[in-house]
Chains A and B, each alone.
Chain A
Amino acid sequence: MTTSNHSNGRFVQTELSNGLSVLVQEAHAAPVASFWIWYRVGSRNEHLGTTGISHWVEHMLFKGTPAFPKGTAEKAIAREGGAFNGATSYDFTTFFATLPTDRVDLSLQIEADRMANAVFDPEEVEAERTVIISERQGAENSPEFLLNEELMGAALRVHPYRNPTVGHMCDLETITRAQLYEHYQTYYAPNNALAVAAGDFDADAMVGLIEEHFGGIDGGDGVPPVTAVEPPQRGERRVVVRREGFVPYLKVAFRAPTVRESDFFAMTVLNAILTGASAMTFRGGGLTNKSSRLYKALVAAELAVGVSGMLLPTVDPFLYSISAMVRPEHSPAEVEEVVEVELARVATDAVTQEEVDKAIKQAQAQFAYSSESVTGHALWLGFSEIFADHTWAESYLDTLAAVTAEDVRRVAETYLERSSRTVGWYVPTDNEQMSNDK
């Protein structure tokens, strides 16, 4: 067990004998506590035939256990005034509740129970199949979802990150109850999980409470390793989606470093300079980006309505992407050309120290915003432990502050190479000007 004192309270890290990792952070600003369970499973662990299975299992963990029949867990939390939800991503599935401190044990009880005792009633599996198909169909209504799905499939040939978290439609139609249950038994066990708590409690007492609820659960047999390694990209790839609509979209993706490589920080600064400071986790919005380079080159120049960048922390190497909603009177090709010029400019002329300083101050402010709530504290702890370890979050600002303008130039030159990029166009078929172009 390691413990330390932070400005806002004690921090304890330990591991139970069944392999459950535990991170506990005191924060005494408000009488609330947030408890999270993170499982190291997501679309990274999926294959064709069962894509979307982690997300579906997440849904099934809301469908009842003998102790908490369907609907009773969320009602019990809501009755205490708590917030309660789950999320599935590439590398993780997480469940959390934030509650008044004196009732946080309820969420430990619920999470420990559904880690071991979820029922997977066959009728519930079928009802949830239509719900998830409906979730996918809702997403398909969005041009950005369709373009992103095609782009990921092209940019990554081998690694499961190429599959959408919600799953492919053919898999959603055919995954069986037995497959779901096996996935649950394999991955949703203490030795593949992380318990994180932040809030207005005594850290040792919280560790004791976690031990009490989770200590008796069988550790699990271990999970199959993910062996997929994306081969190098040897040339540009391109995809075009043609579908209804009036507004074109452009998305360009490049191979990116992982969070455990120091280049990740220079890429973070580069992204802030190009497209503005984006949100650092999957919750919480970013800032405006109207002083960023690509906003000026695309939006202020009236070629695009908006532009954004995404550098997602992941376990295995993933992508850095730039997206633009193109003005209807312009084409993705025109926007692509300007993006290319701007990227080349960063790689050859470098950026200024002022731009680097600005990106660092933006990150400091965003850290302050996310530290307002215990939910934000716990999210950051768990999130960074999934990809690196919790010290990654603690040292994040210091590491970022060490980035130089030359680092930014170098990563632009290294990663934003034309031959390793994938370009996606969404060409709306109701826009005559666009259709006539072809």
Chain B
Amino acid sequence: MSVPGPNDITRHVLPNELTLLIRENRTSPSVVVTGVLRVGAYDESPDQAGLADFTAEMLMRGTENRSFDRIYEELESVGASLGISGGTHGTGFGGKSLGEDLPLMLDVLSDFLRHPTFPPDEVEKVRGEILADLADRAHDTRRMANLTFYELAYPDGHPYAISSSGYPETISGIERDDLLAFYRGGYSPEGMILVVVGAVETEEVVAQVEDAFGDWDGMTFAREPLPEAPPITDVRERRVSIPDKTQSDVVLGYPGPPRTHPRYLDTRLCNTILGVFGLMGRLGEKVRDEQGLAYSSYSHLSGGPGPGPWRIVAGVNPANVERAVESIRAEVRRICEEPVQEDELSDSQAFLTGSMPLHLETNSGVAGTILSMERYDLGLDYLQRYKDLIDEITPERVQAAAERWLDPDAYALAIAGPPEDE
């Protein structure tokens, strides 16, 4: 098996600016489709938070050619799945089927992206489902800790400080006309990426995609530059009390680097050492293992189109919250103040480069990687250069990444769990 690269990925840009990438893989009879549209919560106003996600959720609820029932009957009857959901910068879609059913998937995808009808009764159904989910969120410690973290870590009014799922009051206020207007203003092939990987014939896929999307045109919303997400210079802590819970969820973190940052991989390697390698890196070793404070403790780097967060996450007994936070801060301090050991560095480098064959074993793994290569302009030869890019990183560069983005004394900290007096 060769690493996916320019020699076996076909990249084809349609005149309407849709970028199509295809890689054949005949080791199993299945195919994966994934991609993104350049429309999202970025393009909604704060008083309509959740509009982009609500709009995406409506697309599969009925089209000019298919009812909601028919869309899912057609897909599920052949064991295919297809879905779409709104994010902040983009709206992602994805699905899988047997290779023989790719034409059906592309036809359904094109149908709901281009010809949705927003049936009024389905608008109310979806609204009810979103409101029920938001009611559930209010009682979920993990989700509330994350929601609160974003509010603390980003300035007021920044798109990242606002939930892309919305809030009960904003979702209740969105009208069908708002959904239609958002759809008409933002959904277009401009900047759309579509990736197909699996048991397919490249030439046939190009023809099918041109057929399904070639005569779609239009533009997406014009975007103002994203507001700054300045580094945090103080301690911003907030607790959310949810009675009757037995565990507290802790999120401590910072605005992080975009995936396009020239030193992004330094940060990724630093994060691997801090909270991924082995069983969750240094955090797993100290917070979970040595102190037995938590079932889970790890770190996560978002690495999206903007300054998405670098978060440390732990689930702990409510009585241990302070100790866990101190233990997390001590690890942040250590990685900022001391260069990592050479062997620790080479272990994590070996992990990042050596795990590539595993990651590329499935169609969805390959498709996700190709999507990133295109979306973040990494180049189709990225995987071929990847090992060198990782291996050239030094302890100094890891420490510089930690110092640039982390701070043991200034951070956003959100804790959701039972009230302190329980």
**Shortest Cβ gap from A322 to chain B (Å):** 18
When A290-B76, A368-B29 are in contact, do A129 and B354 touch as well, CB less than 8 Å? no
Asked if A430 is an interface residue, CB under 8 A from chain B, the answer is yes
Asked if A32 is an interface residue, CB under 8 A from chain B, the answer is yes
Q: Are A287 and B81 in contact (CB under 8 A)?
A: yes
Asked if B158 is an interface residue, CB under 8 A from chain A, the answer is no
Asked if B357 is an interface residue, CB under 8 A from chain A, the answer is yes
Asked if A374 is an interface residue, CB under 8 A from chain B, the answer is yes
Asked if A366 is an interface residue, CB under 8 A from chain B, the answer is yes
Chain B contacts for A327, CB-based, 8 A: 128, 132
Of A75-83, A174-182, A309-317, which stretch is located at the interface?
A: A75-83
Chain A contacts for B278, CB-based, 8 A: 71, 74-75, 78
Asked if A138 is an interface residue, CB under 8 A from chain B, the answer is yes
Q: Are B79 and A100 in contact (CB under 8 A)?
A: no
Q: Are B361 and A372 in contact (CB under 8 A)?
A: yes
Chain B contacts for A82, CB-based, 8 A: 354-355, 358
Asked if B404 is an interface residue, CB under 8 A from chain A, the answer is no
Size of interface on A: residues with Cβ below 8 Å to B: 70
Q: Are A137 and B317 in contact (CB under 8 A)?
A: yes
Size of interface on B: residues with Cβ below 8 Å to A: 69
Identify which of residues 249-306 in chain B touch chain A, using a CB-to-CB cut-off of 8 Å.
277-279, 285, 288-296
A288 to B105, CA, bound (A): 14
Asked if B375 is an interface residue, CB under 8 A from chain A, the answer is no
Chain B contacts for A300, CB-based, 8 A: 68-69, 125
Q: Are A244 and B242 in contact (CB under 8 A)?
A: yes
Tell me which of B247, B289, B361, B363 contacts A134 (CB under 8 A).
Answer: B247
Q: In the complex, what residue of chain A is closest to B317 when comparing beta carbons?
A: A134
Chain B contacts for A372, CB-based, 8 A: 27-28, 30, 361-363
Q: Are B295 and A131 in contact (CB under 8 A)?
A: yes
Chain B contacts for A244, CB-based, 8 A: 139, 242-245
Q: Are B355 and A83 in contact (CB under 8 A)?
A: yes
Chain B contacts for A296, CB-based, 8 A: 69
Mark contacts of B213-230 with chain A using CB atoms, 8 A cut-off: 1 yes-contact digit, 0 otherwise. Answer: 000000000000000000
Asked if A378 is an interface residue, CB under 8 A from chain B, the answer is no
Q: Are A79 and B351 in contact (CB under 8 A)?
A: yes
A378 to B356, CA, bound (A): 20
Q: Are B30 and A30 in contact (CB under 8 A)?
A: no
When A138-B247, A358-B76, A368-B30 are in contact, do A131 and B1 touch as well, CB less than 8 Å? no
Identify which of residues 130-150 in chain A touch chain B, using a CB-to-CB cut-off of 8 Å.
130-138, 140-141
Tell me which of A71, A83, A131 contacts B358 (CB under 8 A).
Answer: A83
Asked if B80 is an interface residue, CB under 8 A from chain A, the answer is yes
Chain B contacts for A129, CB-based, 8 A: 292
Q: Are B1 and A29 in contact (CB under 8 A)?
A: yes
Chain B contacts for A291, CB-based, 8 A: 69, 72-73, 75-77
Asked if A328 is an interface residue, CB under 8 A from chain B, the answer is yes
Identify which of residues 319-333 in chain A touch chain B, using a CB-to-CB cut-off of 8 Å.
325, 327-328
Mark contacts of B355-390 with chain A using CB atoms, 8 A cut-off: 1 yes-contact digit, 0 otherwise. Answer: 111101111000000000000000000000000000
Chain A contacts for B292, CB-based, 8 A: 126-131
Chain B contacts for A362, CB-based, 8 A: 76, 78-79
Q: Are B79 and A288 in contact (CB under 8 A)?
A: no
A298 to B355, CA, bound (A): 43
Additional A-B contacts beyond A365-B30, A365-B78 (11; CB < 8 A)? A75-B278, A75-B347, A80-B350, A81-B351, A138-B296, A287-B79, A291-B69, A305-B133, A364-B98, A369-B30, A374-B361
